[in-house]
Amino acid sequence: MKQVNNFFQQVLTISIILLISHIIESFMPIPMPASVIGLVLMFVALTTGIVKLEQVEAVGTALTNNIGFLFVPAGISVINSLGVLSSSPILIILLIIISTILLLVCTGIFSQLIMKPSKKTAKQTKNIKRKRVAGDYA
Protein backbone atom coordinates (compact mmCIF):
# COMPACT_ATOMS: atom_id res chain seq x y z
CA MET A 1 0.00 0.00 0.00
CA LYS A 2 2.92 2.33 0.74
CA GLN A 3 4.26 1.95 -2.82
CA VAL A 4 0.87 2.83 -4.27
CA ASN A 5 0.66 5.88 -2.00
CA ASN A 6 4.19 6.91 -3.00
CA PHE A 7 3.32 6.53 -6.69
CA PHE A 8 0.21 8.70 -6.28
CA GLN A 9 2.27 11.33 -4.46
CA GLN A 10 4.72 11.38 -7.36
CA VAL A 11 1.90 11.73 -9.88
CA LEU A 12 0.44 14.53 -7.76
CA THR A 13 3.80 16.35 -7.68
CA ILE A 14 4.15 16.17 -11.45
CA SER A 15 0.50 17.18 -11.91
CA ILE A 16 0.92 20.23 -9.68
CA ILE A 17 3.94 21.35 -11.71
CA LEU A 18 1.94 20.85 -14.92
CA LEU A 19 -0.99 22.83 -13.46
CA ILE A 20 1.36 25.69 -12.52
CA SER A 21 2.81 25.63 -16.03
CA HIS A 22 -0.70 25.91 -17.53
CA ILE A 23 -1.41 28.90 -15.29
CA ILE A 24 1.88 30.54 -16.33
CA GLU A 25 1.08 29.82 -19.99
CA SER A 26 -2.20 31.71 -19.75
CA PHE A 27 -0.40 34.85 -18.53
CA MET A 28 2.55 34.78 -20.93
CA PRO A 29 2.57 37.38 -23.71
CA ILE A 30 4.26 34.97 -26.14
CA PRO A 31 2.83 31.57 -27.07
CA MET A 32 4.77 28.79 -25.35
CA PRO A 33 3.50 25.27 -24.70
CA ALA A 34 2.68 24.48 -21.09
CA SER A 35 4.67 21.26 -21.39
CA VAL A 36 7.86 23.22 -22.13
CA ILE A 37 7.18 25.55 -19.21
CA GLY A 38 6.57 22.47 -17.07
CA LEU A 39 9.91 20.96 -18.09
CA VAL A 40 11.69 24.18 -17.12
CA LEU A 41 9.81 24.33 -13.82
CA MET A 42 10.64 20.69 -13.07
CA PHE A 43 14.31 21.30 -13.91
CA VAL A 44 14.44 24.34 -11.63
CA ALA A 45 12.62 22.48 -8.85
CA LEU A 46 15.02 19.53 -9.08
CA THR A 47 18.19 21.62 -9.25
CA THR A 48 17.20 23.88 -6.37
CA GLY A 49 16.12 20.96 -4.21
CA ILE A 50 12.48 22.04 -3.96
CA VAL A 51 11.61 18.64 -5.42
CA LYS A 52 13.86 15.70 -4.65
CA LEU A 53 14.58 13.19 -7.41
CA GLU A 54 13.13 10.40 -5.25
CA GLN A 55 9.81 12.29 -5.21
CA VAL A 56 9.32 11.90 -8.97
CA GLU A 57 11.74 9.18 -10.09
CA ALA A 58 9.38 6.19 -10.27
CA VAL A 59 6.72 8.03 -12.28
CA GLY A 60 9.37 9.62 -14.50
CA THR A 61 10.87 6.22 -15.23
CA ALA A 62 7.43 4.75 -15.96
CA LEU A 63 6.62 7.60 -18.35
CA THR A 64 10.00 7.30 -20.07
CA ASN A 65 9.56 3.55 -20.51
CA ASN A 66 6.20 4.16 -22.24
CA ILE A 67 7.21 7.20 -24.28
CA GLY A 68 6.54 5.49 -27.62
CA PHE A 69 2.97 4.80 -26.59
CA LEU A 70 2.56 8.42 -25.50
CA PHE A 71 3.57 9.73 -28.94
CA VAL A 72 0.81 7.79 -30.75
CA PRO A 73 -1.82 10.56 -30.35
CA ALA A 74 0.60 13.14 -31.77
CA GLY A 75 1.31 10.90 -34.75
CA ILE A 76 -2.39 10.35 -35.36
CA SER A 77 -3.09 14.09 -35.28
CA VAL A 78 -0.32 14.66 -37.86
CA ILE A 79 -1.93 12.04 -40.10
CA ASN A 80 -5.33 13.73 -39.61
CA SER A 81 -3.74 17.04 -40.68
CA LEU A 82 -2.20 15.73 -43.90
CA GLY A 83 -4.69 17.77 -45.93
CA VAL A 84 -3.39 20.97 -44.39
CA LEU A 85 0.22 19.85 -44.70
CA SER A 86 -0.12 18.76 -48.34
CA SER A 87 -1.34 22.20 -49.42
CA SER A 88 2.18 23.65 -49.21
CA PRO A 89 4.79 20.86 -49.12
CA ILE A 90 7.64 23.01 -50.53
CA LEU A 91 7.12 25.59 -47.81
CA ILE A 92 7.13 22.89 -45.13
CA ILE A 93 10.30 21.26 -46.50
CA LEU A 94 11.98 24.67 -46.68
CA LEU A 95 10.93 25.39 -43.11
CA ILE A 96 12.35 22.06 -41.92
CA ILE A 97 15.68 22.67 -43.71
CA ILE A 98 16.05 26.25 -42.43
CA SER A 99 15.11 25.35 -38.86
CA THR A 100 17.54 22.40 -38.87
CA ILE A 101 20.40 24.59 -40.10
CA LEU A 102 19.51 27.28 -37.57
CA LEU A 103 19.44 24.70 -34.78
CA LEU A 104 22.84 23.31 -35.78
CA VAL A 105 24.40 26.80 -35.96
CA CYS A 106 22.97 27.82 -32.58
CA THR A 107 24.08 24.56 -30.99
CA GLY A 108 27.59 24.98 -32.40
CA ILE A 109 27.90 28.57 -31.20
CA PHE A 110 26.55 27.70 -27.76
CA SER A 111 28.86 24.70 -27.36
CA GLN A 112 31.86 26.83 -28.41
CA LEU A 113 30.93 29.42 -25.77
CA ILE A 114 30.65 26.74 -23.11
CA MET A 115 33.88 24.99 -24.06
CA LYS A 116 35.90 28.20 -24.45
CA PRO A 117 38.27 28.38 -21.49
CA SER A 118 38.44 31.58 -19.53
CA LYS A 119 41.67 33.61 -19.37
CA LYS A 120 42.21 32.45 -15.79
CA THR A 121 41.84 28.80 -16.78
CA ALA A 122 44.20 29.25 -19.74
CA LYS A 123 46.80 30.88 -17.48
CA GLN A 124 46.51 28.04 -14.93
CA THR A 125 46.91 25.46 -17.70
CA LYS A 126 50.08 27.17 -18.98
CA ASN A 127 51.53 27.27 -15.45
CA ILE A 128 50.82 23.57 -14.94
CA LYS A 129 52.45 22.71 -18.27
CA ARG A 130 55.51 24.82 -17.39
CA LYS A 131 55.84 23.10 -14.02
CA ARG A 132 55.60 19.68 -15.64
CA VAL A 133 58.21 20.54 -18.27
CA ALA A 134 60.53 22.13 -15.69
CA GLY A 135 60.03 19.17 -13.36
CA ASP A 136 60.75 16.62 -16.08
CA TYR A 137 64.10 18.17 -16.98
CA ALA A 138 65.27 19.30 -13.54
Q: pTM above the 0.75 mark?
A: no
Distance CA 55, CA 1 (A): 17
**Quick one: 47 and 104 in the same domain?**
no
pLDDT digits (tens, 9 = 90+) for 77-127: 777 777 777 788 888 889 999 999 999 999 999 888 888 766 666 666 767
CA distance to 18, 26, 39, 61, 70, per residue, from 33 (Å) = 11, 10, 10, 23, 17
**Quick one: 55 and 3 in the same domain?**
yes
Using DSSP's 3-state secondary structure scheme, residue 52 falls into coil
DSSP labels, 74-104: HHHHHHHTHHHHHTSHHHHHHHHHHHHHHHH
Examine residue 21 and state whether it is found in any structural domain, yes or no: yes
**Quick one: 1 and 64 in the same domain?**
yes
CB 49 within 8 Å of CB 58 = no
Q: How many domains does the chain have?
A: 2
Domain that holds residue 120: 90-138
